Structure 1
Amino acid sequence: MAEFKDQTLTGEVTLDGNVFINVNFKDAELNYSGGVPPRFDSCRFTNATFNLGGAAGSTVNFLRSMAPASTNMRFVVLGLLPELQG
């Protein structure tokens, strides 16, 4: 685990397991693969994109497959992520 503090990061940035404090992600490609979740504190995102690969990407795709109303499983997704409601 690495800690990044009080700096601007650009280009490709690996998120897994890292700590970001007062970081400006500028023109950055943020990559998360499903490892230890990163921690963000007082960060800014300027023209940053997020990419979810590996287990993280598979999990998001699984949740997306359950999210449409036609599946009758939307309540499962909302139950797992209650912050999406309202």
Structure 2
Amino acid sequence: HVGDYDVQRQMLAIKPYYLGVIGSRRKLAFVKEKLLADGFTAAEIDACHAPIGLAISAVTPAEIAISIAAELIAIRAKREGREKSRYRKP
């Protein structure tokens, strides 16, 4: 978990447009706690896409890869103003 924390801390510092994180709820909570202690805001941390990928009940590696690719496409479409209304989060 410490390695994941180090990478996320470094990436948050440069404020990327998209940051996806793989991990269990336990790992994500561990990393979030350490990032908060480092001075990152909850909003900055919550802007990370975690766990990465769209919630399509993916199980196999191929399905997980598709869910991640789909999320990247959706994020790009939103940035370009092409987001479909039925996919917008409230």
Q: TM-score, normalised to structure 2's length?
A: 0.30
Q: TM-score, normalised to structure 1's length?
A: 0.31
Higher helix share: 2
Q: Mark the structure with the bigger radius of gyration.
A: 1
